[in-house]
Homo-oligomer: A and B are copies of this chain.
């Protein structure tokens, strides 16, 4: 007896070819439901679904899939789909995909891509490989990519794309619309929100939103329609400052010009959204002594190499703290109760210091704090640290007294905690500001320094205070 598998509702839907309904159905699926569905489907139906998926969803699916199954998926994708997929993937997966794609296919795949994405992909390859691929592309496509490759990845030049609409001031609105139409026919995926207006030497004069264009008299010339406010940046500008422009002025795109004000390209807001998230990830992980790369799954050794410097710094700090305790071993062996408060003193100093340094690093990153108003902010953190020190130190004073029955012990541990916490708030704020001042990324540098310094100073304050009051503690 053979069993006939009945066609499921999904099969019927897929075979019906009702694009709208298929899309609606797919959109309503949760991410894991979609992945489960794709894993269960037969190859032809899976290929059909791929064609309806947004490349970003396809990228998600692939990322979740074990590497051995990648080939089966890639075989179902044409050049255009591969090009869209590559644009959506991130570093480690791009590398992995590039290893699987035949390099002779890359010129065709890159030709389908926007110039900034293509440059990002080529940037992942060795210079030699990249040049070999560029040589196989038509000059009109490889030239802009080659130019983009000259800029650092995290600069305005690294973010910009060369695809844009630039027309002379003398054009009329209807001539401009004709120019848009010609470009859109060549590249129908191109997002257009505004057009750039240039003079006869390709220097940027200003920009006009599509809204203005659509509402203007078709015969009027562009010169009179320019947006009152418009911004531009140079290609060397750091991507964080580019993101500031978008955030401050609510931009959708931003032209990039050279020193002579010639239009080089434009940056679009979708890339900036990624920059903001990337920079935040970087800060979060660097504050913990980890690294952006750690968000990648499977590179154990790389993770270890990236984290070990900061752990060794802290190992040294911890040993220095231990050495200080050894110096005071006479006091400690006489009054053994003192050691029970060592974890509190070092731990609390570390916590307050981390709070202050996280706030300072973030404050600088989002321009809430700068060097001109830092004094006011430092004064606030100092008072917060002192007040927290009073509360925690006061509690510890009482606990120290009740636990070991020695009021003087309470006074020593409580006042030490107060001093350690106040000082930690100050160093926690000062170090990031200092590193910002000398142009070192404060998120990268502050973590290890603040923790180590607060451990050392905390224990010094504590043991010195204890030694001074030694005779009362011995009672």
Contacts and interface: CB of A to CB of B under 8 A. Distances in A.
A72 interface: no
A474 to B, nearest CB: 15
Interface stretch (A3-11, A129-137, A371-379): A371-379
A247 B359 contact: no
A57 B326 CA distance: 56
A62 B370 CA distance: 15
B344 A318 contact: yes
Contacts of A358: 284-285, 287-288, 290
Interface in A385-407: 387-388, 391-392, 395-396, 399
A288 B368 CA distance: 18
Contacts of A290: 355, 358-359
Interface in A341-365: 341-348, 350-352, 354-355, 357-359, 361-363
A308 B343 contact: no
A210 B326 CA distance: 74
A325 B388 CA distance: 26
B322 A343 contact: yes
A449 interface: no
A304 B359 contact: no
A346 to B, nearest CB: 6
Interface stretch (A100-108, A145-153, A272-280): A272-280
B215 A366 contact: no
Contact of A247 (B64, B247, B274, B280): B274
How many chain copies does the complex carry?
2
A131 B288 CA distance: 46
A96 interface: no
Interface residues of A, number: 118
Interface in A9-41: 19, 23, 27, 31-32, 35
Interface in A318-338: 318-319, 321-323, 325-326, 329, 332-333, 336-337
Of the candidates A184, A252, A304, A355, the one having the most CB atoms from chain B within 10 angstroms of its own CB is A355
A307 B211 contact: no
Interface stretch (A154-162, A293-301, A431-439): A293-301
A66 to B, nearest CB: 9
Given A277-B280, A284-B283, A339 B325 contact: yes
B269 A359 contact: no
A252 B194 CA distance: 13
A48 interface: no
Contacts of A317: 347
A423 to B, nearest CB: 15
A383 interface: yes
Contact of A214 (B213, B301, B373, B380): B213
Interface string A254-287: 0000000000000001101110110011011101
A384 B214 contact: no
A197 B333 CA distance: 81
A158 to B, nearest CB: 18
A111 interface: no
Nearest to A296: B368
A249 to B, nearest CB: 6
A472 interface: no
Contact of A284 (B64, B287, B340, B352): B287
B372 A32 contact: yes
Interface string A302-320: 0110011011101101110
Contact of A396 (B289, B315, B344, B352): B315
A192 interface: yes
A322 B315 CA distance: 20
In order of increasing CB-CB distance, the 9 nearest A-B pairs are: A280-B280, A318-B344, A322-B340, A288-B358, A250-B270, A321-B343, A210-B210, A290-B355, A318-B347
14 contacts: A32-B372, A35-B372, A193-B211, A246-B273, A247-B270, A284-B358, A287-B288, A289-B351, A294-B359, A301-B387, A315-B395, A318-B347, A322-B342, A342-B343
